[in-house]
Structure formats: C-alpha cells, structure tokens
Amino acid sequence: MVSIIIKGALWLAVIGSMYYMSDQIVQLENRVEALEAHNIIIDRNIEILREAMHFLIKLIKEKLNLFA
C-alpha cells in the first residue's frame, strides 16, 4: 500500500516537472520570437541609416564639390 502511494507521488512529481519544463520551453520560444522580430527591426533601421548616409555623402559631394 505504501509503495503504491510512493509511486503515485513520484509520478505526480514527474508530471509536475514535465509541465513546468514545457511551460519554460514555451516562454523561451516566445522570447526567441520577440528577439527575432526585434532583430528584423534593427536590420531595417540599419538599412535606412545606411541609405541616409549615402544620400548625405552624395549631397555633400554635389553641393560642396568635395572629393572631385
């Protein structure tokens, strides 16, 4: 009788641990998705800044006749 109770308690501990780990995995997956979305935004901002830099260099070259 006692061994059945111990086995049941162990199974409950295992199930509880699995539930906790699966919850942690879901949280990590959500964080990864958020970081990937943030990375896409950063990449786009870098692209915009690069385009602006090239435009400014072109403007400086044209207006001030530098680097001619």
- Please give the pLDDT value at position 17: 94
Burial 12-26 (b: 16+ CB within 10 A, else e): eeeeeeeeeeeeeee
pTM of the model: 0.60
Quick: pLDDT tens for 32-64: 999 999 999 999 999 999 999 999 999 888 888
> Radius of gyration (Cα) for the chain, nearest Å?
29
Q: Could you give the angle at the alpha carbon of 39 between the alpha carbons of 36 and 45, nearest 5°?
A: 150
- Please give the pLDDT value at position 68: 56
Contacts of 61 (CB under 8 A, 6+ apart): 67, 68
